[in-house]
Structure 1
Amino acid sequence: MAAGLSAAITPKPFRSFLSSHLEPKPTPLFHPLLRLQKTLYGARRKRSFAVCFVLEEQKQSAPQIVNLAEEGSEDARDSQILIQARLAEKLARKRSERFTYLVAAVMSSFGITSMAVMAVYYRFSWQMEGGEVPLSEMFGTFALSVGAAVGMEFWARWAHRALWHASLWHMHESHHRPREGPFELNDVFAIINAVPAIALLSYGFFNKGLVPGLCFGAGLGITVFGMAYMFVHDGLVHKRFPVGPIANVPYFRKIAAAHQLHHSDKFNGVPYGLFLGPKEVEEVGGLEELEKEINRRIKSSMGERHGLVFLFEENMGQRSRIRDNDLGTESPQSQFTNIV
């Protein structure tokens, strides 16, 4: 933009005035003539001086366009570096959280499994010390182990709907929000469910008879269910630690997809159970949504599997993209979308 200065002189309309010091005083005889003379003599033209500013738009030169392009490329480069730094920080934090929870899960699982195996071995070895094998007691122990594991699924479904999403929502709510750190308040429920299992195992281990054998089996079934729940729910569904090849088991994929529908609240919270969650979804007519979620999780797992390669390729192609977008054809927001 350039400013121009122009000046103009414009005349104003005629304006009459009287000059009393140059004219003779009027007499009664020539008064009309003198009045006309005053009018003609007194009519003068005034001139005014006006100044105008004119703004002129000029085309930008080629060096200015190059400078703007360089500034745009620098802004794009800075935003790209900032986005990559945030992604790297988020990835490192997720890895740290997963590793911390993995250590806790492995230690607890190894400890519980070892104690359960030793308890079963020593208990049955003590039962057979007299030479007579207590078949009824052994059958009751194994039967209660399976029954307690299956019964825990129905107990968890009822407690999830009637307690965790009702009076205990202030604790369970942490599980439906983005997690900050390796643990959440909802993990307290795992400890609460472990208390009756430990009590039943202890009573059945230190006592002989049919009733202690049934209690021992019930405690063992609760323990097995808790371990399976941790690996499937925390590891497979919410990816708090890697679970290995069980993620490729078709039914486990259905379980994970069904539980993800619970978090999406598409069917009023259904399913509330875990291992029988696909059955609950089928009962409310959500098979189509279940299949969509399964396919989405498969694509997501494939993307995470190749995530490091994708980030590497993204970093290698950073400069070429910036050179192609020197004129600002691609915004930082679109670049962020491409990275994510």
Structure 2
Amino acid sequence: MNAESVAVEADGLWRSYEARTGWLKSRTKTIDAVKGVSFAIHRGEVFGLLGPNGAGKTTTIKMLNTLLLPTKGSARVFGHDVATQPRDVRRRIGYVFGGDKGLYDRLSALDNLRYFAELYEVEPREQRARIHELLELVGLLGRERERVEGYSRGMRQRLHIARGLLHRPDVLFLDEPSIGVDPVAARELRATVAALARQGMTILLTTHYMAEADELCDRIAVITDGVIRVIGTPETLKDSVATETVVEVEVEGQSDKHHEALGELPGVRWVEAEHGPAETSLITVRSEPGGDVYANVLSVLSDLRIVRITGRETTLEDAYVTIVRESAEVTRE
């Protein structure tokens, strides 16, 4: 990769910390939150960092945006080292995180943005036009004089994005921006992120919503237990499990006792169940191709009422689950 095309680069990032365990006889143990993470993000790319809770996503982002120092390894943002040139890095980045913190509830959105514009050293003569531009971008124009305490979660998140863009950063870190928002607000947030991507902004996104990552990301890295397991495009990741047959069966009746039998069928890799109302369940069986998967599954579930049985194409969520589970097996070994 041409060095001039790289916006963010992590090289063997490692973050460890000391934790005390026990009460009467406490002892200190070292916990490795991130273990040798390496990747590079192209200029203008939307790069997804996916993983379960505690996998090391937020720790990695905090090292990249200078909030945590790496224990080992290095990272650069547009050539500036995060450990030795933090001020230069901060001038080039914006950081947006999910949740309610980071805004002043008793101030209006307009006053919040004016305050942060001063902190970000936005030129006074540019502030009015910049704030108006961002309010329009995130869909809050006309509501900017209302107190933030009256905003919905989705409106707050859009204001978070506006705040992170005030100083025209070259890289935007979005750490689970749609967490806890309703589907309509999440769609609006995705539209905002897509608009930023079309403008050429470099974005690092963490999310638990696979549809969001599939829609927005050019490439995705999956991290578990502090280690990057795979990096690729959404299509590449989906193709990695495209050889699977995925069967979904909706049933009425108690299905828990059938899970073990389904898992022992020839070629079956995973069995999952989501319980619905009135003792209904949606059972997902993922199997190697070949053989009569449908007939075998129906045979095991013969004492239940089958509402529907369908096959579907593999999704990014299927690929993600496979990667996470396989990495867990490797870790246990």
Same fold (TM over 0.5): no
Q: Which has the higher helix share?
A: 1
TM-score normalised by length of structure 1: 0.20
Q: Choose 1 or 2 for highest CA Rg.
A: 1
Q: Which has the higher strand share?
A: 2
TM-score normalised by length of structure 2: 0.20
